[in-house]
Amino acid sequence: MTKEVYRSANGKTVDMGALRLQNERVRAVGNMRVNARGDEINDNNEVIRTRNEQVESDYKRQANMPRPSSKNHGDI
């Protein structure tokens, strides 16, 4: 059980954590083709790449980029 329990304007309690977990595989609103978890999905709502795979590939891409040399920065 999460601590994300709120009371609505009508006095009903809403558990936002449970609601988020219940709908994490539903297509998110917008044009990014992702579900609520951030997984990349196709038109049939099937997962193409998980969010963890996307983060891992971005990290590898950034780690392989060459760093600028500090020699050229002091010659202004």
Contact of 55 with 48, CB cutoff 8 Å: no
Instruction: Report the candidate in 48, 27, 49, 51 with the shortest Cα–Cα distance to residue 38.
Output: 51
Angstrom distance (rounded) from CA 74 to CA 76: 6
Q: Say what the pLDDT of residue 66 is.
A: 82
pLDDT in tens, 9-67: 999 999 999 998 999 999 999 999 999 999 999 999 999 999 999 999 999 999 888 87
Residue 43's beta-bridge partner residues?
A: none
